[in-house]
Amino acid sequence: MTSDVLYQHFLTRMSEVNNLAQIGDLLGWDQQVYMPSAGGQARAEQLAYLRSLQHQRFTDPHFIDLVHELRSKGDLTEDQRVNVTRTWRDLDLEMRVPADLVRARAEQTSVTREKWIEARATKDFAVVAKELRALLHLSVEFAQVVRRPGASLYEALFDQFEPDGKVAEVGALFADLRPRLTSLLQQAVEKGRSRPIVDFPRGGYAKDRQLALFTKLVSLMGFDLSGGRIDGTVHPFCETVGPRDVRLTTRFDEDSFLGGMFAVVHEAGHGIYDQGLQKQFDGLPLGKACSLSIHESQSLIWENHVASAKPFWDLHYSLLDQAFPGRLSQFSADDFYRHVNRVQPSLIRVEADEVSYSLHVIIRFELERALVEGDLAVNDLPAAWNDAYRDYLGITPPSDLEGVLQDTHWYIGAFGYFPTYSLGAIYAAELFQHFVSTQPTGYAALSKGDYAPFREWLQRSVHQHGQRYPSQELMAQVLGRAAGVDSFLKYLRVKYLDD
């Protein structure tokens, strides 16, 4: 068969596999947003079936032969070759995984997540420990069959989120970053003592008014709500279930709207990335995000460099007064800016200030690496967590809810995910600084509340490439050099020590 005919067969099968994946994503979104708690077991079986069927269709011997033959063709276009080559990488990994392991992981993930919710309600890690142990065991089994020569078990899992990422390089980066961040944190806290920070009143922030405010904010950013929506959940996330169907979630707390507001801005950054991918490549590597570190760079660049910056609130503080009449009118935009950018070690990662945030990530990186490599037992995880928080941040969680139960990642089997948050923060600082220095008119527009030039620059520079390049190569394409930590640390110093 000719290359064109073979490629059309390739597209047909990839569309089928993608449809199965997106149906599973929709069921997963529903599980975390609307599904009644009693539906957990049936949903686990449904997701396990879908994941097994997706694995079966993707690893069908005829499809393997088809992709292998396409790889040998010399007349593919550049886009076709990227899609075929990257698919082969994923296929090579998937072929190694037994079908019963695929199903077992999918089912155990659903079961463990439901137990995690129960454990959070009781603030007791012991409630979920058994299921987490089972999920960790399956994750290690998965790592054993997919790891590449010379890779550790943890690196095999990290590779699922950060293709071609090197754990040794991340470990060295974090070892260098940790003392510098600790020093910067101490200086920022000390400086903060000389600058009084207003505490905003608690209570009176109705959910419907929060939703209206959040909708205005993500619309300002340019998130297309005709192809998206906002809902509440336990742990905010963004789920894309189709090229024109991007679901944002956040938390609604009527005592304080701040956590939910910045969560939805963060998730909208993810959503804008997914909406900026090339839709003609939906379900193909060129229509998928580069990696989770690049995905995090897109959420953090909006959350930290735009929506936490002073120009943003100088322009938009009135939106808060409109949303909550009489609650905040006695305060100024400057009061609010200082309030949301206060630096103080805290227990909750998603509510942490920018300076201490990566210390939260480093703690999780070290703990999950120890879990996967067998150096830390699941039963010892809460104590190890509390010890790390005391050593790194000088605080100790009062219960498991504020400690080891706060993040969903381990309870959905996402071991190896956490390092991408700090890599994303580093990439976000690099990208924003590059935008400022190379796009003066775009930056002037951003400062005046016109976010379209900034969003379009991100789309041209990052989104449109899909998985054409690995993370570090993509960053080098944009910056003209390798990414590093200097822009990140300079940004933090200027904002929190020099401002």
Name the active-site residue from 114, 131, 162, 267.
267
| Helices within 341-470 (DSSP H only) | 354-372, 381-393, 419-438, 440-447, 452-461
Q: How far is CA 268 from CA 83, 169, 261, 468, 495, in A?
A: 27, 30, 11, 23, 23
Q: Which residue, among 363, 334, 333, 332, has the nearest Cα to 346 in the 3D structure?
A: 363
Rounded to an integer, what distance in angstroms lies between the CA atom of residue 243 and that of residue 287?
A: 9
Bridge-partner residues for 248, per DSSP? 230, 238
Q: What does the DSSP assignment read for 63-119? A: HHHHHHHHHT-S---HHHHHHHHHHHHHHHHHHTS-HHHHHHHHHHHHHHHHHHHHH
Q: Which residue, among 301, 298, 355, 353, has the nearest Cα to 177 in the 3D structure?
A: 355
Bridge-partner residues for 238, per DSSP? 248
State the residue for tokens 């603030």: 123
The sign of the torsion formed by the CA atoms of 229, 235, 236, 237 equals negative
How, if at all, do strands 228-232 and 238-242 pair? unpaired
**267: annotated active-site residue:** yes
Burial class (CB in 10 A: 0-12, 13-18, 19+), 436: middle
CB contact at 8 A, 324 and 258: no
Q: Taking CA 472 as the corner, what is the angle to CA 248 and CA 351, rounded to the nearest 5 degrees?
A: 40
Active-site amino acid positions: 267
